[in-house]
Chain A
Amino acid sequence: MIDRDELLHVARLARLALHEDELDATAGELSTILGHVAAIEELDLEGVEPTAHIGDVSDSLRADHVRPSLARDVALAPAPAIRDDGFLVPSPQGE
């Protein structure tokens, strides 16, 4: 069972603003998910290869060939604010 402090810590790391009235419900949902993982951990997986990827993986690398980049105005179109041909953002704290 995930407790309130742990939930707030995880929420802060994920930049999620949880309201007071969401805490109990969210803690319950997260605990259910963790419980499910814990149940899987109970399985005897002796001799089973760890799964790093769910696809049927044959190697897929990309040759080092240049492809056209986006035009700058297209790249900047979704920016909330633009200055000097760049994305204008609040400065990170503590820098």
Chain B
Amino acid sequence: MAGGDLEPVIGLEIHVQLRTATKMFCGCALGFGEPPNTRTCPVCLGLPGALPVANAEAIHYGLMIGMALDSELAPVSTFHRKNYFYPDLPKGYQISQFDLPLCSGGKLGEVNIHRVHLEEDAAKLNHAGASGRIEGADSSIVDFNRGGTPLAEIVTEPELRSAEQVGEWLRLLRTTLRTLGVSDVNMEEGSLRCDANISLRPVGTDQLGTKTELKNMNSFRFIERGIRAEVERQRAIIEAGETVTQETLHFDPKSESITSLRSKEEAHDYRYFPEPDLPPVVITEEMLARAAASLPELPAAREQRYIETLSLSPETARVFAWRAELADYFDAVCAADQSLDPHVAANWVTELQGRLGDEEAEDSKVTAAALAQLAAMVVSSQVNQGGAKQVLDQLVAAGGEPASIVADQGLEAVGGADELAPIVAAALEANPELTERLRSGDMKPIGVIVGEVMKQTRGRADGKEVTALVRKQLGLS
């Protein structure tokens, strides 16, 4: 299949740590950063005879996720044992779900969801270097605090087509999960982890190429870079007429290199069988009603509301809604001054965010009330656009109140015809040739006149008003 255009086919598996108080199958408190092995019990240590009992809240969060993703919720769901040996898994198996996951199908944005199931997280392995105790061998230290943390695994259909699309969609997913309140969704701390299955195929075909699995990428930037690197690696292999090997890969963001984890093929022979220690989970009407009642306004709905109720542009609606913090800030600006046109509020929020870069507006020195006040002052012509942007710069740098900044710095718009008319008249008088051209209907020189008035007023005049005065004084309208 060398030659021809190739397109990436990408599917994602996302592991989300749920924000319950206790672990999936025991009453140990979840912990992050606690001293090692202080959050364990016979169940999460996998001691013989200990019996797991599923956490009702984890099921509840799973149902909320399923509803948010428009999945079909199983009336009865079962747990299975996924068998493999690894030191981070004390029982020799992970309790997961197999043929009856909690949620099947669904959709988020443009991407279809394959399934969502619940499982338990593994413990944490820390490399210990060569050990004297275990002769001649490299050794690791196991901390079981994380072992048994509830996870929702969200599996997409292989429908994503580019690294950029993956990044954008993951941000939507993260915002959705954060809005649901079911997880901290912090990639750096590992509460949101993403694996990507990647293959290439000739454009316009349905055939599936050999896929590789890129494991455990822990930031959006690395995910995009990792996928881009793997797509290019596969493209080079295929264009050289060779075949891609199915394997599990690790992307090193420092060197941008991709290495095989060389997992043995039998490692994928998990021999799932039903977990005999856990009865099936029967989803009751009460559970469904409670999950439905717990759903907040989700990004997709918020996007719709911004478009339909506030008539924001679809682009702005998406930028805000897909970034919950920004949308919350925008809502706060609108709430601070309900007479403010949402368009105007949106423009100023965008203007502010442009100055903040990655920083969240709500973490900046600019309060929603201050931004609302500034926007209102522009609307009522107390300050013009240019002046207001200067005020915004100062708010970003040092905070404060727009009205007093305007007063302190003399940025008030030169308001009203009374004050402006003589200045406009003087500008026309000083430029007789331009005035003649304007009078004869050639409006090109008007910029020069406006510029002159701006100079005289140190930029505090309203350009539209100056234009109107020029027309009026020359009897043009």
Contact = CB atoms under 8 A, between A and B. Distances in A.
B57 to A, nearest CB: 4
Interface in B33-55: 35-42, 45, 47, 53-55
B59 A69 contact: no
Contact of B83 (A9, A13, A52, A86): A13
Contacts of A69: 28-29, 38-41
A19 interface: no
Given A67-B22, A89-B140, A94 B28 contact: no
Interface stretch (B101-109, B276-284, B419-427): B276-284
Contacts of A52: 76, 78, 100, 274, 279-280
Interface stretch (A25-33, A39-47, A75-83): A75-83
A48 B279 CA distance: 18
A59 B282 contact: yes
B444 interface: no
Contacts of B440: none
B53 A13 contact: no
Contact of B139 (A9, A13, A55, A91): A91
A15 B377 CA distance: 75
B347 interface: no
Interface residues of A, number: 37
Contacts of B36: 72, 84-86
Interface string B136-154: 0111111110000000000
Contacts of B139: 83, 88-91
A65 interface: yes
Contacts of A12: 266
B430 interface: no
A70 interface: yes
A62 to B, nearest CB: 4
Given A15-B85, A66-B29, A83-B141, A57 B22 contact: no
B87 to A, nearest CB: 4
A65 B276 contact: no
B134 A88 contact: yes
A61 interface: yes
Most buried by B among A78, A81, A83, A89: A89
Given A62-B56, A66-B27, A94 B279 contact: no
Interface residues of B, number: 61
Interface in B263-287: 263-264, 266, 269, 271, 274, 276, 278-282, 284
Interface stretch (B123-131, B229-237, B296-304, B322-330): B123-131
A65 B22 contact: yes
A64 B142 contact: no
Contacts of A62: 22, 27, 53-56
A52 B83 CA distance: 18
A70 B20 CA distance: 20
A53 B142 contact: no
A88 B128 contact: yes
Interface in A6-29: 9, 12-13, 15
Nearest to B270: A13
Given A81-B133, A89-B87, A64 B57 contact: yes
A57 B279 contact: yes
Chain B contact surface mostly: loop
B94 to A, nearest CB: 15
A54 B137 contact: no
Given A15-B85, A57-B280, A90-B138, A64 B56 contact: yes
Given A66-B21, A72-B35, A86-B143, A55 B134 contact: no
A40 B47 CA distance: 33
Contacts of A81: 131, 133-134
Interface in B131-177: 131, 133-134, 137-144
Interface of A: 9, 12-13, 15, 52-55, 57-67, 69-70, 72, 75-76, 78, 81, 83-92, 94
Interface of B: 20-22, 26-29, 35-42, 45, 47, 53-59, 76, 78, 83, 85-87, 100, 125-128, 131, 133-134, 137-144, 261-264, 266, 269, 271, 274, 276, 278-282, 284
**Nearest 3 CB-CB pairs, A to B?**
A67-B27, A64-B57, A86-B141
Given A52-B76, A67-B41, A70-B42, 16 more contacts: A52-B78, A59-B284, A64-B20, A64-B58, A65-B21, A66-B22, A75-B40, A75-B144, A81-B131, A83-B128, A86-B36, A86-B142, A88-B128, A89-B142, A90-B139, A92-B140
30 contacts: A12-B266, A58-B279, A59-B279, A60-B279, A61-B55, A62-B22, A62-B53, A63-B57, A64-B58, A65-B27, A66-B21, A67-B22, A69-B38, A69-B40, A70-B41, A70-B45, A72-B35, A75-B37, A78-B47, A83-B128, A83-B131, A83-B133, A84-B36, A85-B35, A86-B37, A86-B143, A90-B137, A91-B137, A92-B86, A94-B264
